[in-house]
Structure 1
């Protein structure tokens, strides 16, 4: 992905239903010179929903007092019916104490994992982040 002032990053997660980790980070992508990544909790972050956040990838190495204002969207792609894609938009000022922000209850696990829903196809889930 480029280093422009906005970017849409697509993350294809294979063997999704077999994931045994509590949380999972995407590869790093760049927007406006900043490093970002998607953070998901495939089985939920203490809730019965997929949890998904935008994360400042290099937050631990940034100088004291840093902050970063961003508007972003996170999406779970419906691979059967694109109009069924779930997208949520937020604006947040990221800082050392809030280096990730998003949604603990993004989509119910029962809906996500339903074979008829279209969110997981051939055990692959596709999520996207757009930062602008």
Structure 2
């Protein structure tokens, strides 16, 4: 008989009823950088950031806005640690309730530090629907469940 040497410990499982983070990007059509990174969001004992690519992650997606949830670069993720995240990412409609929502149901860790969409919304649709009168874009993330897993 082989002795058990590894086991999984799940801790810090929490449901978040109102953990929302809003990020406004002013003058969206004038953004020049390839990537914009939000301020840090502390949820579930870990720092997260949103990474937004106003003209796509690369030239293949240049007609799209790319948007990702990412473990913050200064976070240390040990081998075997994973964080399960369930959340909604939204581009808000400034004139109504036609928000564009996509769901994340994903484990994050060393092998998967980021999750999101190369094609979150087409730039043509974004300019028609999701920019306010001043050309600002409002991005929101709403965390619902976060749990941490450690292997020993």
Structure 2 residues without counterparts, runs of 5 or longer: 1-13, 145-152
Aligned mates of 1:22, 1:107 — CA distance in 2: 16
Report what 1:45 is aligned to.
Answer: 57
Aligned mates of 1:63, 1:105 — CA distance in 2: 31
Q: Which has the larger radius of gyration?
A: 2
Report what 1:88 is aligned to.
Answer: 102
For normalisation by structure 1, the TM-score amounts to 0.86
User: Is the CA contact 2:78–2:110 (under 8 Å) kept in the aligned structure 1?
Assistant: no
1:30 aligns with 2:45: no
The DSSP-based 3-state class of the residue aligned with 1:61 is: coil
Aligned mates of 1:5, 1:56 — CA distance in 2: 19
Aligned mates of 1:35, 1:110 — CA distance in 2: 32
Report what 1:62 is aligned to.
Answer: 77
User: Is the CA contact 1:12–1:126 (under 8 Å) kept in the aligned structure 2?
Assistant: yes
Aligned mates of 1:32, 1:94 — CA distance in 2: 12
Cα shift readout 1:9-39 (whole Å, capped 9, x = no counterpart): 0001112111111111100111122111111
The higher-RCO structure (CA 8 Å, 6+ apart) is 2
Structure 1 residues without counterparts, runs of 5 or longer: none
Q: Which contiguous aligned blocks of 4+ residues in structure 1 show a shift greater than 4 angstroms?
A: none
Q: Per-residue deviation at 1:5? A: 4.9
For normalisation by structure 2, the TM-score amounts to 0.75
> How many equivalent residue pairs?
125
